[in-house]
Chain A
Amino acid sequence: KAGVTQTPRYLIKTRGQQVTLSCSPISGHRSVSWYQQTPGQGLQFLFEYFSETQRNKGNFPGRFSGRQFSNSRSEMNVSTLELGDSALYLCASSLGGSGLNEKLFFGSGTQLSVL
């Protein structure tokens, strides 16, 4: 069974640009979550999508947005990039049932560098 796939693996952008990252979950998984990982702040939750709807949202500005398609693939977009947005962006998928404590399966991440 293929794991969680994130593309691209690396991205270099300049301040003010926008960027779109993609995540393909494990087949059959309906929930996709996004996390930002930085050396200073560690791993922080961005948002979660389930059945094409945002189900949970972390404490990030509106420049960070996402969506989920009918095949459960998800994209996240960051507009008006800032230097501080440089980070590893991780996507995680899970079955997405209503129960808690689901096991999350993480992708290898997209390393974004903002110059």
Chain B
Amino acid sequence: GNSVTQMEGPVTLSEEAFLTINCTYTATGYPSLFWYVQYPGEGLQLLLKATKADDKGSNKGFEATYRKETTSFHLEKGSVQVSDSAVYFCALSDQTGANNLFFGTGTRLTVIP
């Protein structure tokens, strides 16, 4: 079946530190991979996505590369800001339905000044 395993949180970093949030997946076929972010009091927002192996998704300084050989999609940012404090969710969609996403459990990131 399909599943996503995400790095346990919470993660606390100082401003300008390097961020990595690990995400690995199990899926049949060739899933698409996503990172969603949930800011306090708001709904989830798509941060970035990758639809095939070796694709790199990027947005707002965040990057993630679709690694089929390691079934991973780790999220990285070179220099985090206080405004990046949020919960980050890794997700995959199989090829049976675009809106049936399988989510990881989420990783809460807190960035301190």
Contact = CB atoms under 8 A, between A and B. Distances in A.
A104 B99 contact: yes
Interface size class of A (residues with CB under 8 A): 20 to 34
Interface residues of B, number: 25
Interface in B6-27: none
Contacts of B102: 45
Interface of B: 32, 36, 41-46, 49, 51, 89, 91, 93, 95-106
Nearest to A56: B97
Nearest to A3: B43
Interface stretch (A12-20, A64-72, A79-87, A95-103): A95-103
A3 B42 CA distance: 11
Interface string A76-115: 0000000000000010101000011111111111000000
B100 A108 contact: no
Given A42-B104, A42-B106, A106 B45 contact: yes
A101 B98 contact: yes
Interface of A: 3-4, 31, 33, 35, 42-45, 48, 55-56, 58, 90, 92, 94, 99-109
